Amino acid sequence: MVEKIFLLDVDYEVEKDSGVVLLFGKNKDGKKILVKKEFQTYFFVLPFKGREEELYKKIEKLMEKHTTVTNIDFVEKKVGKEKRKLIKISMKDPRRIKDVRDEIKNLEEVENTFEYNIPFYKRFLIDYGIKPCQWIEIEGELVDENKDGFDLVFKATKINQTEEYFEPELKIISLDTEWVEVDEREKLIMISLSTKNWRKVFALTQWEGKQDFVESCSSEEKMIKRFVETIKEEKPDILVTYNGDLFDFLKLKQKAKSLRIKLDLVSKDKDLEFVRRGKESAARIFGIVHIDLYQFIESILSPNLKTEVLSLDEVAKELIGEGKKDLEYQEMSDLWRERKELSRIAEYSMWDAYLTYELSKIILPQIFSISRLVGEIPFDVCRYSYSQLVEAFLIRKAVEDGLVIPNSPKSEEKETRMRELPYRGAIVVEPKKGIHENIAVLDFRSLYPTIIVTHNISPETLNCTHEECKIRNSVPETRYHFCTKEEGFISKNLKTLIERRRFLKERMKLLDKKSVEYKILDNEQYATKIISNAMYGYFAFVGARWYKRECAESTAAFGRHYISKVLEFAHKEGFEIIYGDTDSIFIRKKVENLEEEALRFSELVNESLPGIIELEFRGVYNSGIFVAREKGEVGAKKRYALIDKEGKLEIRGFEVVRRDWCKLAKEVQRKVLEFVLKDKDPEKAIGYVREVIKDLKDRRVRLEDLIIYEQITKPLSKYEQIGPHVKAAMKARERGIIITVGSIIGFVITKGVGSISDRAMPADFVSRDDYDVDYYVNNQVIPAALRVLKALGYTEDDITGKKVEGLGKFFKG
DNA sequence: TTTGGTGTGGTCTGGA
DNA sequence: TCCAGACCACACC
């Protein structure tokens, strides 16, 4: 029998001491399918040169007592740059791999062992060349129907990847729970589910409201049971949560445990379990993919988000344009205790589930795309960091290319790597202070990735023995060079990524941005971009299997080389250099048509650039401002604002874009920038700032505009210096709020005595009368405004009006 | 278990 | 009380 399934998840079980891979998916008829496939895992032993046979015989003898070992044979693979003879030890029981290896690894003929810690199900995917979120074809027999929540269960004899990857209709349900504290005990009061056609709230109450999506439950136990029943009936493929790993499922599990009931969402002998995935433990459900959107947003998406906090509310606002229903936790608790406005709580809870579902419509396709690219299951992908994604991608490629996968560094090795001194990075040109009109901006398209490809930068191509390569491909300012005769492993595979991305981008140009096809390509393009851009940093990452600092160092050195050349050339061509950072230059020239001139310049540069390195003309801006550093007169790097022809501001580095400044100060600064760059009227800005200060003094400012957000980056006890955010976090913790590493704390500086830190209070416990006017005037609003206005010669006195009114204006003309 | 280096600026801390 | 340097967070690329 042959069946095609869209592969969603992979796991394994051990049956009679043999590993069996379990594949979960969906077929074209929308049936949920489980496929079982026997599979043997293995690892490699690298004998010292010349002692291969000797070791082989020794191992053969040693393994006689291990019935799990089924095969011992020689294979040839590249270990680093060298082709070597390895001994492959295959076995039935994946759990035994550790102790079998332990018995071998210390034999005197053994140089090293490899690939002993590749998880069983990943080993299977890699060896079969199967990537999740695509269609696979299986051959085998149907062994069960309607078993354990699956419509069809197969035992497969053959499995193949197909090229198709259109997505079938998947059943996705989002989950959200609400809890309140009653008599010092956490009570589960609502479980909300949302999906394409319906929404449901299980509520712990006698329901009298009108909302028909609410179902009353008389106890927490009944709620959980109804939830479990519903999932069993609906048989979703995917359950999405927003922080389900650390919150919803964690709490549900604890609650279920204390009530002595099961969270068997699929079948009765498979309880929800927590598995370790990196630092956290992840909630895993047999037969349903649990995607925790928060995990993915935090590690992968957050650098691209503008929001200060990664709350569901803020993230949803940014990505889908809808925020949460207004209801503070405290208010909800109070309402619940008093049994008032329950429908409001239900509405709120349901809405959370709805937002989570809506978010998943955007984010799941991205996760799927990455999944296809790096070949890992979505469950893992959504919990991975950049380095893990890169590594997953490389592991696949290594096996395809016949390389042994290097081992992960042991903690000792990591310590050594960490102790190495940092290497030189990019060039940042000191900007010319002041306001400039007509600025042309050019930058290198993906500078570091294109350097890696063009110069064949890879761990094994470093410092080859060819004299010729030393001359033809040596790294500026270093003693390194890279081989030009043989393509490097990383450079080669990065090249395919870049080519793929360029191809996708071209195709996208021909499509309607709203079309489904465009979105598919856009997601794939995004996936390739993530991996490409992370490759450089990965070289110097202490936890990397393919760690090679010299490669990162060389990439940066070439970067400096190319940007310097362009700066030099621009200067020679009569351009004035305003600024430049790593891969970009901001230039100016008094000509009729700067656009044309800059474009010509970039074309000229490109003629002389090797390989796929390319300078791109970004555009001409009407004007831009570069300010001085706080200390000293020199221009500040990484802080500027540009305004384009449409009057759109592009702001970098300024307080406006930082979360550790209050909204009020940031808004003031944005307005000041607008007055200066758009209206070209700094006097208006001064007037505006004065008004804001008056509002502050009159306490007419909303408290939320005064909140400063900062992250807690280590355990509170480890801080040597107790800054405002740490003090505020301590105060929050005293009031029962959980503060962990990574928490972002919002605080307000209140009036009173003591240092700023002493007066920093968690925002939730402050009222409008408490804020410290002086602090917000002198340490927030004025510095933010002045940062810009100083560039025009204004001083603090011009804002506060300490000097005679109008004097500042008089002198500034 | 957190891809890298470069850079700015606020607040605290401890010695003069 | 003042100030330099350390610590810390966050931005840029």
Q: Locate A657 and state its tokens.
A: 């874009």
Give the residue nearest to nucleotide C6 (CA to C1').
A721
| Strand ranges across the sheet with A576-581 | A428-429, A576-581, A584-588, A434-444, A615-628, A635-643, A649-652
CA angle (A371 as vertex; A368, A373 as ends), nearest 5: 115
The answer to whether strand B lies under 7 Å from the CB of residue A300 is no
In whole angstroms, give the CA distance from residue A673 to residue A790: 12
In whole angstroms, give the CA distance from residue A675 to residue A223: 57
DSSP A43: E
Give the residue nearest to nucleotide C12 (CA to C1').
A638
In whole angstroms, give the CA distance from residue A247 to residue A337: 22
Å from A580 (CA) to C8 (C1')? Answer: 27
The answer to whether strand C lies under 7 Å from the CB of residue A711 is yes
CB distance A347 to A178 below 8 Å = no
Q: Locate A291 and state its tokens.
A: 């995607």
The answer to whether strand C lies under 7 Å from the CB of residue A653 is yes
The answer to whether strand B lies under 7 Å from the CB of residue A783 is yes
Q: Percentage of chain A with pLDDT > 70?
A: 98
For residue A809, the model assigns a pLDDT of 42
The average pLDDT across A447-464 equals 98
The average pLDDT across A468-485 equals 97
Amino acid residing at A115: E
Which residues of chain A between 393 and 452 are close to nucleic strand C, CB under 7 A? Answer: 426, 443, 447
Of all nucleotides in the shown strands, which has a C1' nearest the CA of A714? Answer: C8
**Which positions of chain C lie under 7 Å from any protein Cβ?**
6-13
| Best CA proximity match to A548, nearest among A462, A419, A451 | A462
Tally the residues of chain A: 813
Å from A739 (CA) to B12 (C1')? Answer: 22
Instruction: Kindly tell me if the per-residue pLDDT of A443 is higher than 80.
Output: yes
Query: What is the end-to-end Cα distance of chain A in Å, rounded?
Result: 88
Å from A553 (CA) to B5 (C1')? Answer: 10
Work out the pLDDT band at A808, boundaries 50, 70, 90.
Answer: very low
* pTM metric for this prediction: 0.95
For residue A811, the model assigns a pLDDT of 38
Q: What is the pLDDT of residues A740-796, one digit of tens each?
A: 999 999 999 999 999 999 999 999 999 999 999 999 999 999 999 999 999 999 999
For residue A308, the model assigns a pLDDT of 85
Q: What is the dihedral of CA A256, A261, A266, A269, to 10 degrees?
A: 120
Å from A460 (CA) to B3 (C1')? Answer: 20
Å from A295 (CA) to C9 (C1')? Answer: 22
CB distance A5 to A35 below 8 Å = yes
Phi and psi at residue A520, to the nearest 5°? -60, -50
Å from A229 (CA) to C10 (C1')? Answer: 47
The answer to whether strand B lies under 7 Å from the CB of residue A755 is yes
Residue A82 or residue A183, greater confidence: A82
Q: What is the pLDDT of residues A531-580, one digit of tens each?
A: 999 999 999 999 999 999 999 999 999 999 999 999 999 999 999 999 99
**Which positions of chain B lie under 7 Å from any protein Cβ?**
1-13
The answer to whether strand B lies under 7 Å from the CB of residue A724 is yes
Q: What is the pLDDT of residues A325-362, one digit of tens each?
A: 888 888 888 888 888 888 888 999 999 999 999 999 99
C-alpha to C-alpha distances, A404 to A39, A75, A493, A758, nearest whole angstrom: 20, 11, 16, 56
Of all nucleotides in the shown strands, which has a C1' nearest the CA of A655? Answer: C11
The answer to whether strand C lies under 7 Å from the CB of residue A560 is no
A662 CB-side CA count, 13 A = 25
The answer to whether strand B lies under 7 Å from the CB of residue A426 is yes
Summary mean pLDDT of chain A: 94
The answer to whether strand C lies under 7 Å from the CB of residue A652 is yes
The answer to whether strand C lies under 7 Å from the CB of residue A637 is no
For residue A801, the model assigns a pLDDT of 77
Give the number of other Cβ atoms within 10 Å of residue A272's Cβ. 20
The answer to whether strand B lies under 7 Å from the CB of residue A541 is yes
The answer to whether strand C lies under 7 Å from the CB of residue A638 is yes
The average pLDDT across A18-41 equals 96
In whole angstroms, give the CA distance from residue A133 to residue A294: 20
For residue A183, the model assigns a pLDDT of 83
Q: Parallel, antiparallel, or unpaired: how do β-strands A434-444 and A280-284 relate?
A: unpaired
Kind and range of the H or E element at A606?
helix A594-608
Q: What is the pLDDT of residues A629-684, one digit of tens each?
A: 998 889 999 999 999 999 999 999 999 999 999 999 999 999 999 999 999 999 99
What are the residues facing A202 on neighbouring strands? A191, A215
Å from A778 (CA) to B14 (C1')? Answer: 25
The answer to whether strand C lies under 7 Å from the CB of residue A714 is yes
The answer to whether strand C lies under 7 Å from the CB of residue A657 is yes
Q: What is the pLDDT of residues A658-669, one digit of tens each?
A: 999 999 999 999
Which residues of chain A between 316 and 375 are close to nucleic strand B, CB under 7 A? Answer: none
Which residues of chain A between 329 and 368 are close to nucleic strand C, CB under 7 A? Answer: none
Secondary structure class of A709 (helix, strand, coil)? strand
A198-212, A455-469, A602-616, A740-754: range with lowest mean pLDDT = A198-212
For residue A330, the model assigns a pLDDT of 83
Which residues of chain A between 382 and 401 are close to nucleic strand B, CB under 7 A? Answer: 385-388, 390
In whole angstroms, give the CA distance from residue A743 to residue A741: 6
